[in-house]
Structure 1
Amino acid sequence: MENNNYFAEMMKSPMPRELEKTAVSEFISSFLNDILYKKEKAQLMEKIDQSLDNRDRSTFLTLSDELKRLEKKYQAS
């Protein structure tokens, strides 16, 4: 019986719902960032592979630097 009253009181309070929305928003944001990171990394890796196939050193170095920046960017967030 006491559990039902506690639940009813908790449902009246907006705080648990706001915390839930925040947690869900954080999860979605993290999930989307992970997808974006993987997509950008895959594109860069493909370009790096092409530059290696073409023996294009300057493009390889440029793309490698971009990859390093990308990894730092997503490790920081």
Structure 2
Amino acid sequence: MKEKSYTELMKIAAMKRNRMKENFVQDLYIDMLLSEIQLTVEKEKLMRKIDLAIDRRDKKSFLHLSSKLKEINKKFGT
């Protein structure tokens, strides 16, 4: 079995660290994308419910749903 030199071992270790950093960043992007999709879907559902409450002239539901939408927008800065 051929032993690797110190330089080769250091290069291998550096490459592993770089791969780990790249994987971390990629995982972070994926997490952000999934969160954005989830937020968008939830907001769309609320908007449909708000529209339905308006169509039915249901003030109580409208106010409740609108406050939930405001909370989401405030929480996520949108």
Corresponding residue to 2:57 among 40, 55, 62: 55
* TM-score under structure 2 length normalisation: 0.78
Q: Which amino acid in the other structure matches residue 74 of structure 2?
A: K
| Distance across 2 between alignment mates of 1:72 and 1:18 | 34
Cα RMSD (Å): 2.1
* Unaligned residue ranges in structure 2 (runs of 5+): 1-9
Q: Which amino acid in the other structure matches residue 49 of structure 1?
A: D
| Distance across 1 between alignment mates of 2:22 and 2:73 | 30
- Partner residue, 2:20: 18
- Partner residue, 1:33: 35
Q: Percent identity?
A: 34
* Greater relative contact order structure (CA < 8 Å, 6+ sep): 1
* Unaligned residue ranges in structure 1 (runs of 5+): 1-7
Moved more, 11-20 or 62-71: 11-20
The structure with more radius of gyration: 2
* TM-score under structure 1 length normalisation: 0.79
Q: Which amino acid in the other structure matches residue 46 of structure 1?
A: R
